[in-house]
A and B are shown apart, each in its own frame.
Chain A
């Protein structure tokens, strides 16, 4: 499972990568690698309780 706001992209206006990287559609930014583990719900991590981007997006009705 992974966060519903996670996408993998190879670039944006500022970046271009050989390998697609984790991108958060809530904040419209590539995310830090450490945060990508949270986005991908690795190690039992849960965006619903541990990611402020997710929590704020849900509170704002973005889903």
Chain B
């Protein structure tokens, strides 16, 4: 979790966020939504260098699904289409009931990882994903029971404080996802990434998400600072200004190429499991 780890050439874990839970094909025409589309995208992302797949489930009409059976359908299609990837279910879900939010943790088999939103997040004009401490604790407790590694979604600096609240209960190493963009997320600027890293405990592994045009610079910065990266159409639909990304794989390929150029080899799935102490 340091610049020294960059110098040492520590492998960088690439997570591909294939679909997301906010927008659909009405906004991003090539967004994978169905199990077969997600599986195809997963295979492309794996071939390009992703070892973790961050997954949301959708119904046939693109609307959100939190149903464990739908996640199982997607997971099965992915396992058939890939060699070996780490499956990470989202437990995010603005507006959804708490009980619904827990359903992605109930698949058979359980996912190796799941996201854990660490606090409130505003959506639209009148909607807030509350992510109360009670919900965070319930989701985390279920993850512990099922051996699921939490990926702490830190939308802003206050959520880092919230992470510290449960820090001692987290499986080693705590895996913190620092999120930069608009709205409730941290203002996307290098100084804010540096500031958050200053406050991050030394035993953490960290990952960076930059929404939209901030994906490329801030994930590159993460690589230079010993962190890991998440890319994909969930977070960014453009390859460069005015040029829509062709696929999730295209964004993963670029991240992998930059990592290699910077002297940080891309972690294969076994290495990612070792770094995050999965299993």
B58 A43 Cβ-Cβ under 8 A: no
Q: Does A36 contact B (CB under 8 A)?
A: yes
Q: 10 tightest A-B contacts by CB?
A: A30-B26, A52-B125, A50-B126, A33-B24, A19-B61, A43-B97, A36-B63, A34-B22, A33-B63, A19-B60
Q: List residues of A whose CB falls within 8 A of some B CB.
A: 8, 15, 17, 19-22, 29-38, 40, 42-45, 49-52, 55
Smallest distance from the beta carbon of B65 to chain A beta carbons, Å? 10
- Bound: A28/B117 CA distance, A: 32
B95 A33 Cβ-Cβ under 8 A: no
Assuming A33-B24, A33-B64, is B124 touching A52 (CB within 8 A)?
yes
Q: List residues of B whose CB falls within 8 A of some A CB.
A: 21-27, 58, 60-64, 94-97, 100, 123-127
Closest to A15 in B: B26
Partner of B95, one of A22, A43, A49: A43
User: Inside 8 A of B123's CB, which chain A residues have their CB?
Assistant: 34
Most B Cβ at <10 Å: residue of A17, A22, A38, A43: A43
6 further A-B contacts with Cβ under 8 Å, apart from A21-B24, A37-B63, are A15-B25, A17-B62, A36-B64, A43-B95, A51-B124, A52-B124
User: Inside 8 A of B127's CB, which chain A residues have their CB?
Assistant: 38, 45, 50
- Bound: A38/B61 CA distance, A: 15
Partner of B124, one of A8, A35, A43: A35
User: Inside 8 A of B124's CB, which chain A residues have their CB?
Assistant: 35, 38, 50-52
A20 B61 Cβ-Cβ under 8 A: yes
User: Inside 8 A of A50's CB, which chain B residues have their CB?
Assistant: 95, 124, 126-127
Assuming A43-B100, A45-B95, is B58 touching A33 (CB within 8 A)?
yes
Assuming A33-B22, A43-B100, is B64 touching A49 (CB within 8 A)?
no
- Bound: A17/B96 CA distance, A: 25
Partner of A49, one of B23, B94, B126: B126
- Bound: A30/B21 CA distance, A: 15
Partner of A17, one of B21, B25, B126: B25
B62 A21 Cβ-Cβ under 8 A: yes
